Homo-oligomer: A and B are copies of this chain.
Amino acid sequence: MHKEKALILCENSFGKYLGKTANGLVRHSERFEIIGVIDSAHAGKMAHEVVEGAKEDIRVYSDLKTALEDASKPDFLIIGVATIGGMIPEEFRPVLIEAIKNNINIIAGLHEFLNDDPELSKLAKEHGVELIDIRKEPPLENMHQFSDLCKNLDTVRIPVLGTDSSIGKRTTAIELVKALNARGIKSVFVATGQTGLLQGAKFGVPLDSIQGDYMVGELEHAIIKAYEEEKPKVIVIEGQGSISHPAYVSGSRAIITASQPNGIVLQHAPGRKYRNYRKKLLNLPMPDLREEIDLIEIFSKAKVLGITINNESMSDDEVEDIMARYEDEFDLPACDILRHGCDKLVEQIKRIFPELN
């Protein structure tokens, strides 16, 4: 399949929390061929020197001009930041204008829509350039109501939830799907956020852009569609936020009630002390792992089947220690899938669901 070429705009955020869309795209992209990232703070480096697990041929540029001189011409400029509140950063505007003037299409996954911006949409029209807002809610008449459909599906449904936002849920989910498929267990990924959709997920919804009344029904519909079109043995659903997160209240719960899970993978960053959400301002403490597991199991009436670890702020030894401790304390497999792969998780899934063998 021919992939369209895309450059990612991530000034000042690549490798960081707010750069999660860029960080995801340099790791995995089915729809686009990523030809570069713009972030002057890392200009001259390769993406994998900034983001662990990134592909090795992606260069980081100081600005759009330099990128266009060096790389082949992109079809798209992707806005690679996930700002809190979802506004387009004002300092991106001159770059977006420059891109449009260079006849490059722009794609964004923010709450603020490119197409609602009079200046950008006028300019785009003049240059015959497309502005794509992937986080736009479908029209009301196309949305679905919760219909209690997943519980009877003949497929194992496993959401990858987490103890915080931007902690690696999507990356783990995608790697788990790859690993299951590699073992001959047909599996499908269902995205619930803008990055997964930008990466080219065939199934999914921009969950946190959907009004409350339709969140569960829309996600349920995406899961049913994935089942009907692919007839997979396993559906892995990307988590959102965390079930205990005070600002992101609906993601995890919508994912649980929509999917009616058979088991849950929980992603955690033992080295993270405060939630990423408006960190310096609020200092919201990370949840206790045991309490988080309890909350998830009470709500979902399903069991957490494995713990996956985000190794940020941890040495290799610390990761090894914590894995051993969690395996002992929770009697569950624990692994850092970026370093160790998904073998332990796949073994556990095969053990719990013997019908997959």
Which residues of A are interface residues toward B (Cβ below 8 A)?
84-87, 111-112, 137, 140-141, 143, 145-148, 207-213, 215-217, 246-251, 253-254, 257, 277-278, 281-282, 284, 294-295, 298-299
A113 to chain B, nearest CB (A): 9
CA distance A215 to B207 in the complex (A): 13
Cross-interface CB contact of A247 among B257, B277, B298, cutoff 8 Å: B257
Q: Closest B-chain residue to A247, C-beta based?
A: B146
Q: Closest B-chain residue to A208, C-beta based?
A: B212
CA distance A295 to B294 in the complex (A): 11
Q: Supply 15 further A-B pairs (C-beta < 8 A) apart from A146-B247, A212-B249, A250-B253.
A: A84-B145, A85-B143, A111-B140, A145-B278, A146-B278, A148-B246, A208-B213, A209-B212, A210-B211, A212-B212, A212-B254, A216-B246, A216-B247, A250-B254, A295-B299
A137 pairs with B211, CB closer than 8 A: yes
B140 pairs with A112, CB closer than 8 A: yes
B140 pairs with A284, CB closer than 8 A: no
CA distance A148 to B284 in the complex (A): 9
Cross-interface CB contact of A249 among B140, B257, B294, cutoff 8 Å: B257
A86 pairs with B140, CB closer than 8 A: yes
Cβ contacts under 8 Å, A248 to chain B: 212-213
A154 to chain B, nearest CB (A): 20
With contacts A140-B86, A140-B111, A298-B295 taken as known, whether A147 is within 8 angstroms of B278 at the C-beta atoms is: yes
Cβ contacts under 8 Å, A211 to chain B: 111, 137, 208-212
CA distance A140 to B88 in the complex (A): 11
With contacts A111-B140, A140-B87, A140-B112 taken as known, whether A250 is within 8 angstroms of B212 at the C-beta atoms is: yes
A-B pairs with the 6 shortest C-beta distances? Answer: A250-B250, A146-B247, A208-B212, A249-B253, A246-B257, A212-B250
B213 pairs with A215, CB closer than 8 A: no
Cβ contacts under 8 Å, A208 to chain B: 211-213
CA distance A212 to B294 in the complex (A): 24
Cross-interface CB contact of A250 among B87, B145, B249, B295, cutoff 8 Å: B249
CA distance A140 to B140 in the complex (A): 19
CA distance A248 to B214 in the complex (A): 9
A-B contact pairs, 25 of them (CB 8 A): A85-B213, A86-B213, A87-B140, A111-B213, A112-B140, A137-B211, A145-B247, A146-B277, A146-B278, A147-B278, A147-B282, A207-B212, A208-B211, A208-B212, A208-B213, A209-B212, A209-B213, A211-B211, A211-B212, A212-B248, A213-B247, A249-B254, A250-B254, A294-B298, A295-B299
CA distance A16 to B295 in the complex (A): 35
Cβ contacts under 8 Å, A246 to chain B: 146, 148, 216, 257
Q: Closest B-chain residue to A244, C-beta based?
A: B299
A143 to chain B, nearest CB (A): 8
CA distance A335 to B84 in the complex (A): 43
A212 pairs with B251, CB closer than 8 A: yes
With contacts A86-B140, A140-B112, A254-B250 taken as known, whether A282 is within 8 angstroms of B148 at the C-beta atoms is: yes
CA distance A251 to B213 in the complex (A): 9
A214 to chain B, nearest CB (A): 8
Q: Closest B-chain residue to A246, C-beta based?
A: B257
